[in-house]
Amino acid sequence: METDVLVIGSGIAGLSFALKVSSFCSVTLVTKKASADTATNLAQGGIAAVLSDEDRPEYHIRDTLRSGDGLCNEEIVRLVVENGADRVQELIDIGVRFQRGKEGQKFDLGMEGGHSHRRVAHAFDLTGREIERALLERIAQQNNVTVLENHLAIDLLLASKAPSGPVSANGDRCIGAYVLNRQTGHVETWHARATMLCTGGCGKVYLYTTNPDIATGDGVAMAYRAGATVANLEFVQFHPTCFYNPKIKNFLISEAVRGEGGILVNAQGKPFMLAHDKRGDLATRDAVARGIDAEMKASGADCVFLDISHRDPQFVRDRFPTIYSTCKKYGVDITREPIPVVPAAHYMCGGVQVNSWGESSVAGLFAMGETACTGLHGANRLASNSLLEAVVFADRAAQRLAGTWPEVSRQPLLKTTPWRDGEAGSIEENVLISHNWDQIRRLMWNYVGIVRREKRLQLARRRIAPILTEIREHFNDYLLTADLVELRNLAVIADLIITSASMRKESRGLHYIIDYPERDDINFQRDTLLNRKKR
Ligand SMILES: Cc1cc2nc3c(=O)[nH]c(=O)nc-3n(C[C@H](O)[C@H](O)[C@H](O)COP(=O)(O)OP(=O)(O)OC[C@H]3O[C@@H](n4cnc5c(N)ncnc54)[C@H](O)[C@@H]3O)c2cc1C
């Protein structure tokens, strides 16, 4: 199967890029479930950009650098911030309806933690859903974009494996991907002149996460296997308060609940945050997540509680209508009782290392959105900068491809061999997959979570190794299923996070390790880079 450009993923990054390049080439966009099964669809707060007269690019740059704790690439931060307003306008032009200000202003700009000015454009608390809707509607109108749902990319195709392929002197080249058609069960071989990885994050590698089920780190794992460099995977952002209930996944309890007087208490009803941080319940996101983690580890409890029941019930219902009604639906009346909460993995700051055009270290392979490490976030992402990063880099990568297209489109399309199942048989016992899946997520939560320790990291390295070997054997022995493909990626991502965390012997941003509590600029003010060929 052939296409000019293969885009993997239908979140804000993949859709924005596909829309742009469809003006000069044909695009096939594969997505592993339904098109709107994305983290983009869940984004609540909004998209950060300099959009008011009171704000300036310099302020947004300063806030981003401060949050990144010495590890942002300042040139990239400037590039993203300076492009922000234009990209937000483009979203409006394709039909995104941001909430307008009360006195006729174009935007009702939100204020979020770490931002010195109001700069978050939003569509109530459903911003991501509105962006996804508008992009999908626009994509549906493009004749030369084909969207294939239930198509799961397994591995990237490399020129070095193509019988006809002269490998360029600069190294290998990506020429497409093997894709599992989940409806037929067949593996399709998609050849492309350029391949774009936009597969989102990897929250599912942790026991608790705000991420949707698709977030299994597939793009990073595929790129790593193909020889691309990945960066800064130790920096995982945890949201402090996710609703703890087995029947509902991904439901965030906004930080505004603490802002309005909500108090974190343990199972005995005792407030505990002051023992961990002098700012108490109003400490920053990472400090609160660490406080809750310490409390849960010390008591062995499954969750802690966030109590706003002392406030006037009418105020609580009016101020937090969605949180009130959702919790009520699952048996918790937040005007009368505390809400069970746990911290949860929320955002992957690292990813496939790319340059300012979204190009990875493997020719022909781009990465964008949460899958990429552009240098914008450094050691800690500033809230609402991720949607912005995705649209800015979609634009940059599209420009790059447009510039090189006359040359790229002239080259013959290299072909590799189709996928071979060999002697593989059907996997009869799904418990083989579910057991490993569960083991990895618990291992990561308990050993490589919010607060780290050298000893636990060493144990994690020892435990992930046999799991990786076992999964490799399953891969050879059994016919592919989507679960098996995702499990392999989850194990690779776990290994990369553990290794990156073990290499950074300092505490910085989101990486907090008890054995090295201080930031060490002399030895560690640099990216953590991993490349399969150099390990
Ligand atoms: C609850 C929540 C709230 C958030 N709120 C905000 C916010 O307010 N502001 C902000 O800036 N950021 C926010 N974020 C982060 C932001 O939503 C994400 O970082 C961003 O949407 C990622 O976009 P993406 O296009 O990179 O990936 P996604 O939107 O996650 O899309 C990934 C796509 O890749 C597909 N895919 C994955 N693997 C494969 C494969 N192997 N083969 C084929 N397809 C594959 C998926 O099916 C999906 O279509 C939030 C995140 C969450 C979870």
Query: For residue 303, what is the enclosing H or E element?
Result: none
Closest among 138, 106, 128, 132 to 119, alpha carbons compared: 106
pLDDT (mean) for 36-46: 92
Q: Which atom of ligand 1 is nearest to the CA of 127?
A: 8
Residue 123 CA to ligand 1 center (angstroms) comes to 17
The structure's pTM equals 0.95
- Going by pLDDT thresholds of 50, 70 and 90, the confidence category of residue 114 is confident
463: left (phi over 0), alpha (psi -120 to 50) or beta: alpha
- Among 119, 198, 211, which is best to mutate for testing ligand 1, by the most ligand atoms less than 8 A from CB? 198
Contact 294, 276 (CB under 8 A): yes
CA dist., res. 5 & res. 29, Å (int): 8
Residue 161 CA to ligand 1 center (angstroms) comes to 31
Instruction: Collect all residues with Cβ–Cβ distance below 8 Å to 214 and sequence separation of at least 6.
Output: 32, 33, 37, 38, 39, 199, 200
Instruction: Collect all residues with Cβ–Cβ distance below 8 Å to 407 and sequence separation of at least 6.
Output: none
Query: For residue 63, what is the enclosing H or E element?
Result: helix 57-67
Which tokens belong to 131? 């962006």
Three-state secondary structure call for residue 239: strand
**Of 193, 285, 441, 508, catalytic:** 285
CA dist., res. 442 & res. 448, Å (int): 10
Mean pLDDT (the chain) is 94
Three-state secondary structure call for residue 351: strand
pLDDT of 250 above 80: no
Which tokens belong to 258? 């603490």
Residue 33 CA to ligand 1 center (angstroms) comes to 13
pLDDT (mean) for 400-425: 88
CA dist., res. 87 & res. 366, Å (int): 20
Contact 358, 366 (CB under 8 A): yes
Tell me the torsion sign for CA atoms 15, 19, 25, 27.
positive
CA dist., res. 456 & res. 9, Å (int): 34
Contact 495, 464 (CB under 8 A): yes
Q: Which atom of ligand 1 is nearest to the CA of 151?
A: 43
Residue with tokens 């937000």: 88
pLDDT (mean) for 188-210: 97
Residue 210 CA to ligand 1 center (angstroms) comes to 11
Q: Which atom of ligand 1 is nearest to the CA of 252?
A: 1
Residue ranges lining ligand 1, Cβ < 6 Å: 8-14, 30-33, 37-40, 42-47, 127-128, 152-153, 198-200, 210-211, 214, 218, 250, 252, 347, 369-371, 384-387, 390
Residue 40 CA to ligand 1 center (angstroms) comes to 4
Strand pairing report for 174-181 and 304-307 = unpaired
Closest among 491, 486, 505 to 460, alpha carbons compared: 491
For atom 51 of ligand 1, the residue with the nearest CA is 43
pLDDT in tens, 55-74: 999 999 999 999 999 999 99
- Among 19, 30, 32, 127, which is best to mutate for testing ligand 1, by the most ligand atoms less than 8 A from CB? 32
Residue 214 CA to ligand 1 center (angstroms) comes to 9
pLDDT (mean) for 356-367: 97
- Going by pLDDT thresholds of 50, 70 and 90, the confidence category of residue 521 is very high
Q: Which atom of ligand 1 is nearest to the CA of 371?
A: 26
Residue % of the chain over a pLDDT of 70: 99
β partners of residue 339: 306
CA dist., res. 340 & res. 253, Å (int): 10
Check residue 104 and give its pLDDT: 81
Residue 458 CA to ligand 1 center (angstroms) comes to 31
Residue with tokens 């599992």: 180
- Among 6, 10, 239, 373, which is best to mutate for testing ligand 1, by the most ligand atoms less than 8 A from CB? 10
Tell me the torsion sign for CA atoms 220, 224, 227, 228.
positive
β partners of residue 192: 3
Contact 52, 110 (CB under 8 A): no
Q: Is residue 285 flagged as an active site residue?
A: yes
Check residue 486 and give its pLDDT: 97
Residue % of the chain over a pLDDT of 90: 79
* 388-to-28, 135, 301, 421 alpha-carbon distances in Å: 24, 15, 37, 41
For atom 27 of ligand 1, the residue with the nearest CA is 200
**Residue 213 burial (C-beta neighbours within 10 Å; 0-12, 13-18, 19+):** middle
Check residue 247 and give its pLDDT: 87
Q: How many CB atoms lie within 10 A of CB 394?
A: 29
Closest among 214, 202, 180, 238 to 490, alpha carbons compared: 202
Check residue 396 and give its pLDDT: 98
pLDDT of 169 above 60: no
CA dist., res. 442 & res. 205, Å (int): 9
Instruction: Collect all residues with Cβ–Cβ distance below 8 Å to 439 and sequence separation of at least 6.
Output: 463, 467
Check residue 426 and give its pLDDT: 80
For atom 13 of ligand 1, the residue with the nearest CA is 43
Residue 11 CA to ligand 1 center (angstroms) comes to 6
Rg (CA), the chain: 23
Contact 210, 250 (CB under 8 A): yes
For atom 46 of ligand 1, the residue with the nearest CA is 9
pLDDT (mean) for 375-394: 96
For atom 20 of ligand 1, the residue with the nearest CA is 40
β partners of residue 147: 29
Contact 225, 495 (CB under 8 A): no
Q: What is the CA angle 26-34-29, rounded to 5?
A: 15
Q: At residue 323, what is the residue type? A: I
Check residue 460 and give its pLDDT: 98
CA dist., res. 528 & res. 507, Å (int): 13
- Going by pLDDT thresholds of 50, 70 and 90, the confidence category of residue 124 is confident
